[in-house]
Amino acid sequence: MPRRGLLIILSSPSGAGKSTLSNRLRAWDDTIRFSVSATTREPRPSEVDGREYHFRSEAAFKRMVAEGEMLEHAHVFGNHYGSPLPPVRDAIEEGCDVLFDIDWQGAQQIRNSPLKDNVLSIFLLPPSIAELAHRLRSRGQDDAATIARRMQKSWDEISHWDAYDYVLINDDLDRTEDRLKTIVSAERLRREQQPDLVGHVRRLHREFEEMS
């Protein structure tokens, strides 16, 4: 029977592992679609427009917001980020899950959107602040000033942990991946995600009456 698609929100402070776990979740089930965010920041050398992000000018981004084409959006580190609505809506109608790698502000907006009944939100906590700082330094993507800004912002992000459906401490990547898969598998089977169950139960009832 067909089911409704889930909006799987995965949030964490920078360095807690959400990008790695997002990639692993999609490798586990390649039908999960990734919501490619739009942003006004400049692309990094290895990034491709439409793959990591939809890179847009500030004017174009603001036009999308004004025309209701953003499911959520936020201003982070001097740049705008947001999730385009049309591809997400299309995926849900087709019964496909959509994965969001976004912060708590974006998660809150989606939970307050018309698609709120499809939301599954998961927050990742680091095992310690020292380990979080180590992960940011070791990945070699940002300079010292950027890392310092991310660390300053991390507590604000962590303080919103209790607004999520599930919270995982990412102290072991493989174990956290297994728990993440378990959560998604269980949520897909929730009664609310299976719209054809009502019709199936009615058919069972008719069969029972015919046998009486």
Domains in the chain: boundaries: 7-34+97-211
pLDDT digits (tens, 9 = 90+) for 43-95: 999 899 988 899 999 999 999 999 999 999 988 889 999 999 999 999 988 88
Average pLDDT for residues 133-147, to the nearest whole number? Answer: 80
pLDDT at residue 183, rounded to an integer: 98
Q: What pLDDT, on the 0 to 100 scale, is given for residue 134? A: 86
Report yes or no: 173 and 21 within 8 Å, Cβ to Cβ: yes
- Which pLDDT band, with edges at 50, 70 and 90, does 212 fall under? confident
Please say whether the dihedral angle defined by the alpha carbons of residues 137, 45, 10 and 27, taken in this order, is positive or negative. negative
Distance CA 154, CA 178 (A): 25
Average pLDDT of the chain is: 91
What is residue 73's predicted lDDT score, i.e. its pLDDT? 92
- On whether the CB atoms of residues 28 and 140 are closer than 8 A, the answer is no
**pLDDT for the residue 29:** 96
With H, G, I as helix, E, B as strand and everything else as coil, classify residue 49: strand
CATH assignment of 7-34+97-211? Answer: 3.40.50.300
pTM comes to 0.81
Helix axes 129-138, 144-158, angle to 10 degrees: 140
Measured from the Cβ of residue 33, the count of other Cβ atoms closer than 10 Å reads: 19
Q: Which two tokens stand for residue 80?
A: 């705008």
Residue 1 pLDDT exceeds 70: no
Question: What does the pLDDT read at residue 3?
Answer: 84
- What order of strands is seen across the sheet that includes strand 54-55? 54-55, 38-39, 79-84, 70-76
Q: Residue 7 and residue 52: Cα distance in Å, rounded? A: 19
Q: Tell me the average pLDDT across 31-48.
A: 93
